Structure 1
Amino acid sequence: MSPPQSRLLIVDDNEMNRDMLARRLSRSGYLVDVAENARQLVQHVKENELDLVLLDIEMPEVSGFDALKMLRKDYSPSQLPIIMVTARNQREDIVRALNLGANDYLTKPIDFTVALARIGTQLSRKREEVDQPATESRLRDRVYRPRYPFAADADIVDLKSGTRLSGVTSDVSLDGCFVRTRGWLEIGARVRLTLKHKNQNVLMLAIVRVLKPKIGMGLQALEVDSISNATFLQWLDALRESRGTPAT
């Protein structure tokens, strides 16, 4: 269930349907506003901090489709989730609504249990989008920064699509992310390189030093071509071999 302060707007020209749904959602802990047409909808969005809109497709003058298009000019699906409500369970209407930027849809007569589930899902996704920058910042603050001159100013960011070491003159792009586990950094899957600086491989060795401290920092850097796109196990085996230690 959504937190009590989540604010919803129901847009429906049918007063009975509108008020009945509003009462049930209010009893479920939501703050609920109502509007009967697109003009009132736009006004509510401008004047209030809304968390989600339930928008009826069949409305006079300006249809729900047109109202959806207007809102999507200013608000993305993550900024303002919109669930379309239709009396016709027709594939064309549903597909059109989703293509115009609707987050989800409900069909009349509304199954209230389904409505609560879909509303809750969209609000959870919205909160995740809002919380993500703060979460990534906390994770970034927990990342171990190697105490070596060439890596001391590195900043590890972009935990979704890959990790970039900035603050130094090279980039390392990683299919995964850094996480602190049992005091050591682990990294997932594969490594791919953006070759922008001759010291690229030095940075890579710094990462290996954090992952496997017994290997040590006294290694001669391997040729970049020999380790780009290699898995970490292959990479570590190559480093062990360069020191004359058995590979895994």
Structure 2
Amino acid sequence: MEIGQKQAFTSFLEKLIDAGILDKFEFPFPYRSEKRYALPQVPMLEVLQSLKPNSYYTHATAAVVHGLIGTETERRTIYINHEQRPHIRGELADQPRIDAAFKTKARVSSNAINLGGTEICMLNGMHTGQLGVITAATRLHQSRSATIRVTGLERTLIDIVVRPSYAGGVETVLSAFRKARDKVDNDLLMHTLAQLGHVYPYHQAIGWYMDKAGYPLAALELIATLPKLCRFYVAHQMSQPSYDDKWALYVPASLA
């Protein structure tokens, strides 16, 4: 588009905004500022989802959609994920690597903005081919229902185990597992976990959450068959954690 055409188009957009026909949205993300125009009836969640191709809602936001955690978390932060390009993953982590990683703070995305009192966090998660992503209708305290792409129940449970800091912490994740107990497909959970191919043994943490949440014996026996080659951690940088021998897992002393 030539300069004159661009100026004319911008002027036309401004007239539509002044007339109330279009709304203008600016998203000053640290890594890249974005701008969008939309009809007034388009829900904000759908506008946000247009910022990156094939993006989807995840972690606490997905957990709220599935009724696993309370809406107070949704009001604090909305998590939307745009996957990285495919790359070769590393080998399974050994004990020294696990110990070193989980004695430090968990990495938290800084690509976030505050929008009307709600933090919008744009994640750049590992490439999964959008595994376990579904389409769902939700309001999330909006006046209109939005049609969004969001991780399904089983993928959401895995994701909040991997990043409990994006879901309100270990206790909130445990509460989510309790709420999901009677509606989760345990076979699908296991299949999704295997497909994700994490280098850390998150199955040990998932097994512990399921055990604490009172999952059926058959589900516990299924995940217990996976090898426990290393001691693992349910969260990063825990102070004086307790060790759960059954799951070879360090957990908060308050939840032991």
**Shorter-chain TM band:** under 0.3
TM-score normalised by length of structure 1: 0.25
Q: Higher RCO, 1 or 2 (CA under 8 Å, sep at least 6)?
A: 2
TM-score normalised by length of structure 2: 0.25
